Chain A
Amino acid sequence: MEDLLAIAVAVLTACGVFLILRARTFPVLLGLTLLSYAVNLFLFASGRLRLGAPPLIRAGASYTDPLPQALVLTAIVIGFGMTAYLAMLALRALAESGSDHVDTAKERCQERSKDPR
């Protein structure tokens, strides 16, 4: 099972990094999402993988470490919020400049923005 999880993390990370390096905002957004999935799986595995063990500590019973699960939950919430904000920002850039490229159209950018202070 460890091998399977390791392969999943690796594939997700590779796809995420590849997409982040694309030049348009939508693939970048997807790439960040994939990367955060990989990170969440990785965090989950840091408490070791155990089958059929609840994350509840009781005397005598077998249990799995509950802390990484709490960490993953926090990371999911934060990552979700950040991604939603980035999606809004990308949409706004698209609406303002008419392009979803991450860093082109500099001239048009200077031309169209009225130099806000």
Chain B
Amino acid sequence: MNAHAPILPILIPFAAALLQMATDRLAFQRIVGLLTTALLVVVTAWLVLLADDGVLRVYALGDWPAPFGIVLVVDRLAAGMTLLTAVLGFLALLYASAGFDARGRHFHPLFQFQLVGLSGAFLTGDLFNLFVFFEVMLLASYALLAHGGGLARTRAGISYVVLNLVGSALFLIALGLLYGTLGTLNLADLASRLPLAGHDQALARLAFALLIAVFVLKAGLLPLSFWLPPTYTAAGAPVAALFAIMTKVGIVAILRVQAIALTPAIPDLLDRWLTTLALATVVFAALGVLAAARLRALAAWLVLLSAATLLITPAQASAPVDAAALYYLVQSTLAGAAFFLLAGVIADQRGGASDYFKAGPQPAIWVKIAFLILATTVAGLPPFSGFVGKLMLLTTLRAVSSGTAIWVAIWVVLLASSFIVMIALARDGCLLIWEHEALAGQPPAEGIAWQRATATLLLVAAGPLLALFARPLADYAERAANQLHTPGAYVAGVLAPTAAKNGGEEAR
């Protein structure tokens, strides 16, 4: 059983989707979806416990050894990310089960396919397979984005789909260049061949640059980030909550490619431009937060802000920074998702005023308290996890920076953006929570279904909980980052079974 553990995070949602497609009955689909996603949380938590022994688990699909077959590779980072996906998926699905899933057809199978794509993208050790899982994830996300209907979603969907199709084309060009120059698409094999002579260095460099460009498109780096806020604003609350992790797929892919293939062979590829553009994106997103007209839009800009903050880290190529980035990634993903769900709850309670920043009916008292906790977390104020994450990021960035000017610039931009976010949240929170105005001719606010309340409150509680358990989580992140930054062990772990086999056969 342990031997087959790496493929379970892909198989479980896939089986659930097939089961759900057998019938159109919503109650059946809901039960299957919730049960399997809960099972996914348990299995991925077990995978994290397994992976924490530091041994690289390589799963050869169809038992074709790497580099000839496709492998799934479970290290601490991949296991942790699948657990985060599962937790987020379960809570978003719980929220959606209160009626959102009935607004269109096939919500549940699409949701499970999205989970398949996300888990696969984190687990795979082959770049073409990464492309395939990206497409699985994107295809499900296109349909989920349009779920619920409405012209705003269709409009946002068109630009989102076109942009990602162009991104896929670039991805394929990068893969073609890599295969043409290095003759392999397995990440470990690429890393082992890159430092050797006998291939066109410039072409390999170009291929990796294209690959990074595709990843930053998914993560929303500045010249490529204009699609993100309108898309995430248009999506329904639970869908947007699940999308909060999609920007992180690009970031994890950059961290992995950078640590395993680029640092040993092409260490200067990300220098200078990535950090500068990431800082520009932070400024852009902070201004967007200030300009947002409704809570959902504000949450979308916050997702962009956290992705931009994380994009500062890959160019540093240091394990302590990546450890801080992983902690920040977990807490910012959960907080961003919580914001979308809370915006949905507030919009439900305020009737015609929806989640626009204007006077309207007041939300319930627990919603107000949840908003306060969440806003404190997101703005990076103590005592919640946003503060811990930002503190770790700032201290480690200072420690590794080569010059004073660099870390001062990063500190100024990050702290100023936090300040802007705090001002925006204080202003908009006052409008949402205190400015009371009964709307004439409006029905009284509907009660909130228990599924929505539970999902929202659990996600909001992540802020205090992650601060309370910051030590074990940060330790795990540190171990994950250290494992990520030993590319030799990764390459040996993936390719060793083949080498041993060949050696044995030659000996015979």
Contact = CB atoms under 8 A, between A and B. Distances in A.
13 contacts: A42-B172, A47-B180, A67-B179, A71-B179, A74-B132, A75-B172, A85-B142, A89-B161, A103-B159, A116-B103, A116-B153, A117-B236, A117-B348
B287 interface: no
B238 to A, nearest CB: 11
Given A78-B168, A93-B158, 15 more contacts: A25-B158, A35-B166, A36-B165, A36-B169, A67-B179, A71-B175, A74-B128, A81-B139, A83-B165, A90-B158, A97-B151, A115-B150, A116-B149, A116-B236, A117-B148
B interface majority secondary structure: helix
Contacts of A39: 169, 172-173, 176
A114 interface: yes
B132 A78 contact: yes
A50 to B, nearest CB: 14
Nearest to A78: B135
Interface residues of B, number: 39
A82 B168 contact: yes
A112 interface: yes
B152 interface: yes
Interface in A33-84: 35-36, 38-40, 42-43, 45-48, 67-68, 71, 74-75, 78-79, 81-83
A32 B150 contact: no
Nearest to A74: B132
B324 interface: no
A35 B169 contact: yes
Nearest to A96: B151
A93 B152 CA distance: 9
A6 to B, nearest CB: 13
Interface in B85-127: 103
Interface in B341-389: 344, 347-348, 354
Interface of B: 103, 128, 132, 135, 138-139, 142-143, 146, 148-155, 157-159, 161-162, 165-166, 168-169, 172-173, 175-177, 179-180, 236-237, 344, 347-348, 354
A71 B168 CA distance: 13
A10 interface: no
A42 B166 contact: no
